Amino acid sequence: MRLDIVCKNKHRSPSLIYVGIAAMLPLLTHAADGLTDLDILSGGLGSAAYAVSADGSVAVGFSADRAFRWTQAGGMVALGVLNGGDFSIAYGVSADGSVVVGSADDGFASNGIRAFRWTQAGGMVSLGDLNGGDFSQAFGVSADGSVVVGNADDGFAGNASRAFRWTQAGGMVSLGDLNGGDFSQASGVSADGSVVVGSAFDGSAGNDSRAFRWTQAGGMVSLGNLNGGDNSYGFGVSADGGTVVGLASDGSAGNASRAFRWTQTEGMTSLGVLNGGDFSMGLGVSGDGNVVVGLATDGSNGNTSRAFRWTHTGGMQSVEQWLAANGVTVASGIGTQSANATNADGSVVVGTLENSHAFLARVSTVGNGMIDLVDFNRTLYGSGYTHVQANAQSDLIMHGLHGNPMSGLLTQGHYNVWVAGDWGRQDHATNDADIGSGEIGAAYALTDDIMFKLALGRTYSHQDSLYGGETNVRGTYVAPELIVGIPNTSLKFSVSGYFNDGDASIKRGYLNAGTPVISSGNPDASASALRLRLDWLNAYRNGNLSLSPYASFTWLDSHIDGYTETGGGFPVQWNRRNEHTTQARLGMDSSYGLNDRVKLLGRIEAVHGMDGHSSNASGTILGLSSFELSGMNYRQNWLRAGTDVEARIDPGTASLMVNGTTENYGSSYWIYASYRLTF
C-alpha cells in the first residue's frame, strides 16, 4: 500500500499536509505536537496549532493563511509571509520557543513553496531549495533551533521528494532515498540534531513506505515493518535519538494499523490496541523514550477515539485510565480524543479533547489531574485581576466617601464628626464585584481658610468566579485631607490622601478532569491614593440654586503580594501584582435648597483615565510552565452623575446619594450615606 505523503497545493488544508496521511486516518485531526483553540487571526475562520515549546509557553501553527506564534502574554501573532508571498504555515518550534520553522509561498520564487526558519531578530527567512528543486517544507527543529528537517524536491533527482537536514553552515542537504525508493520525508529530529526520523518509500520493498532513522555515520536506515506488514511511518523520536515511534501495518493483525515503538535492541514492536479496539497510532515519545502517547480506538467504548499513554509496565492505557489509576476521577462529560506529545519523563501528556480543546494531564508530586487548557485559562483570568479589584476600592473612597470635600465646611474653631458608608457594584465582563466601605471621621477648622480632616475606615469587596471560586479583599484605611481657601477668592484647594493595609482571600475554581476543585491563597494587599483638587465654591448663584465647578487629578496604586495556591490538582504560584492608574476629572456640583432643612445636591463629571489597560498578571503553574496574562482594557473616557438629598435630622445632618457612571474600572454605580454632627 502506497500513500501520497506530499501535497504541493498552496491552498491545501493544514491538517492534511503534516505527514499527509489524514486521507487514510480520518481520526487524525491534529499534528503530532499540535494544540488548538488558541484563537484565530483577523479574517480567519479557524486556527490549528502544530507544535509547542518545551515549557508549553509558545505554540505555533496556522490561521487565516498565515503562520502564527502564540504566547500567553502576546496572544496569536502572525509571522508574516516570505518575500511578499501569499501563504505561510508553521510546523515546528525550538525548545525555548525562539525559532519557528514551516513552509511559505516565496514571492522571490514565483510563489513556489519554501521551507522557512523564523526568529524575532531575523524574521522569516527562506531555507532555499534542494539543488534547484521546486519545493521545500520544514517539519522539525532541534532543541536549540540550529538544525531543521523536512522534505524538498531534489533538482538532482528529477524533482523527487527527499528528506533534508539544514544547518546554517551546510545549508539544505538531502538525506537521500531508501534503497532507491522515490520518496523520503523527515518528520522529527533529536535534541542535538544528530538523529533524523521520518518515512520513505523503500526501493527494496516494492516502494512500500518504511519508517527510517538517519545518522551522519549510517545514513538512512529502514526500521523495517511490523510482523511482515505493508507499511510503517516514523513520527517522533526521543531526545537522544534512540527511540522512534509511529504507525505501522501489523502483519500479525491482518495489516491493521498499530502504534509502534522502535529501539536498536528490540526492533519495531507493536504497542497493541486499547481495550480491544481496532486502531492505534504513536504520535509522541518522552525525552527518555520510555513513554509513548498517541491515539487509539477504545474497544470498550464503541471504538471511540481516545488519547493513550503506553509504558512497558502498564501497557496501553487511555489517559482517563491512567488518571484513574492515580486517584483522579474523570467526569463522564469529558473525554480525550488524542494525545499529541509528552514531556521528558512522560509525567505530563498534552492532546485534544472531544470538544476540540487542548488538554493537559499529569501525575506528579505537585498534583494529579487533567485540565481543559481553554477553560483553565479562563479561570486564571478570573483570579488575575485582584489588583484591579483593590484599586477599585481606592477609587470608591476617593470619589465616593471623599468625593465632595466641600461638604461640611467649618469656620474657625469648630469641628465635626461623622459616620459614613458606601456600597457599590463593579460591573465588567471580566471583573464583576460587590464593593463597599465604612468609616468614622473628624474635621477641625484651624482658621476660616484652613481645615483638616481625618477618617478611619474599613473596605471590602467580593467577587464570584467560575466553578465556585471567589475573591474577597478587605482592608483598614486612614484618609487625611487638607482644605485651604485661597484668600480673597471663592477658590478652595484640597489635598486628599489614602492608605490601606489589608489582605485578600482568593479561591480559584476550575475543573480537574471535569470535577470542580479549588486552589486558594491569602496574599497581603495594600493600596494608596493621592488627589489634588480645586473647587470654585458657589461660582454661580440664583436664589436657592448654586453651582460650583471643580477640577481634580488623582493617582491610585494597589499591590497584591505574590503567593502560592494550595489545594486542587493544578495550583499556581502568582507573582506580585501592582496596579497604577491616573485620572483627571472636570465636574460641576449643584445645590438647591428646598427649605431651611432640606437640600437637593447634584453632580455631573467628565473623567479621563490616563491608562489604556491594567497591568499584566503572571505566575507559574506548579510543575509545568510560567504564564503572563494581558491586562484588562480600560475605557479611558466616561461620565459620572449623582444626585443627593441632604437633610437636617437633629442633632446632625444626614445625606443619601446615588451615583452612576457610563463605564470605568471602578464602581459602575454606588450608594453613599452619612450622618454628621457639628460642634
For residue 471 the three cell numbers come to: 475573591
Q: What is the pLDDT of residue 664?
A: 62
Domain end position, chosen among 75, 92, 126: 126
Tell which wins on pLDDT, 582 or 635.
Answer: 582
Domain end position, chosen among 73, 107, 126: 126
CA 147 to chain centre: 29
At 397-408, the pLDDT tens digits run 999 999 999 999
Check pLDDT > 80 for residue 11.
Answer: no
Check pLDDT > 70 for residue 48.
Answer: no
Asked if residue 150 belongs to a domain, the reply is no
Asked if residue 147 belongs to a domain, the reply is no
d(CA 433, CA 133): 62
Domain end position, chosen among 126, 145, 180: 126
d(CA 497, CA 481): 6
Check pLDDT > 70 for residue 34.
Answer: no
Q: What is the pLDDT of residue 448?
A: 95
CATH of the domain at 434: 2.40.128.130
Tell which wins on pLDDT, 383 or 593.
Answer: 593
- Lowest-pLDDT range of 169-178, 390-399, 528-537: 390-399
d(CA 288, CA 471): 42
For the chain, give the number of residues: 679
Asked if residue 325 belongs to a domain, the reply is no
Kindly indicate the confidence band of residue 100, based on its pLDDT and cuts at 50, 70 and 90: very high
CA 442 to chain centre: 48
Asked if residue 436 belongs to a domain, the reply is yes
Q: What is the pLDDT of residue 431?
A: 53
d(CA 403, CA 398): 6
Q: Is 132 left (phi over 0), alpha (psi -120 to 50) or beta?
A: left
Asked if residue 526 belongs to a domain, the reply is yes
**pLDDT exceeding 90 applies to what percent of the chain?**
68
d(CA 627, CA 46): 24
Tell which wins on pLDDT, 564 or 629.
Answer: 564
Q: What is the pLDDT of residue 38?
A: 41
At 266-321, the pLDDT tens digits run 999 999 999 999 999 999 898 899 999 999 999 999 999 999 999 999 999 999 99
Check pLDDT > 90 for residue 635.
Answer: no
Q: What is the pLDDT of residue 381?
A: 82
Check pLDDT > 50 for residue 671.
Answer: yes
Residue 46 has, within 13 A of its CA and on its CB side, a CA count of 9
For residue 395 the three cell numbers come to: 477609587
- Lowest-pLDDT range of 15-24, 186-195, 471-480, 525-534: 15-24
Secondary structure (DSSP) of 12-47: --HHHHGGG-TTT-TT--S-TT----S---TT-S-E
Residue type (1 letter), 327? G
Check pLDDT > 60 for residue 438.
Answer: yes
For residue 295 the three cell numbers come to: 491515539
Q: Which residues contact 322 (CB under 8 A, 6 or more apart)?
A: 309, 314, 349, 361, 363
Check pLDDT > 70 for residue 493.
Answer: yes
Kindly indicate the confidence band of residue 357, based on its pLDDT and cuts at 50, 70 and 90: confident
Check pLDDT > 90 for residue 192.
Answer: yes
Asked if residue 571 belongs to a domain, the reply is yes
Domain of residue 391, residue span: 385-678
DSSP state letter for 254: T
Q: What is the pLDDT of residue 484?
A: 98
- Residue pair 379/469 in contact by the 8 Å Cβ criterion: yes
Asked if residue 447 belongs to a domain, the reply is yes
Of 7, 31, 662, 11, the C-alpha closest to 338 is 31
Count of domains for the chain: 2
Check pLDDT > 80 for residue 384.
Answer: yes
Q: Is the Cα torsion angle 261, 231, 11, 123 positive or negative in sign?
A: positive
Cα Dmax for the chain: 108
The bridge status of strand 66-71 relative to strand 58-63 is antiparallel
Q: How far is CA 552 from CA 481, 509, 555, in A?
A: 14, 40, 10
Kindly indicate the confidence band of residue 668, based on its pLDDT and cuts at 50, 70 and 90: confident
- Lowest-pLDDT range of 177-191, 342-356, 533-547, 565-579: 342-356
Q: Torsions phi, psi of 380, nearest 5? A: -65, -45
Helices of type H across 364-445: 373-384, 386-396
Q: Indicate the pTM of the whole model.
A: 0.75
Q: What is the pLDDT of residue 12?
A: 32
Residue type (1 letter), 230? D
Asked if residue 295 belongs to a domain, the reply is no
Check pLDDT > 50 for residue 14.
Answer: no
Check pLDDT > 50 for residue 46.
Answer: no
Residue type (1 letter), 471? T
Average pLDDT value for residue range 208-220: 96
Average pLDDT value for residue range 208-228: 96
The average confidence (pLDDT) of the chain is: 88
Q: What is the pLDDT of residue 633?
A: 84
Q: Which residues contact 572 (CB under 8 A, 6 or more apart)?
A: 380, 508, 519, 564, 565, 619, 620, 621, 622
Q: What is the pLDDT of residue 9?
A: 36
Q: What is the pLDDT of residue 160?
A: 94
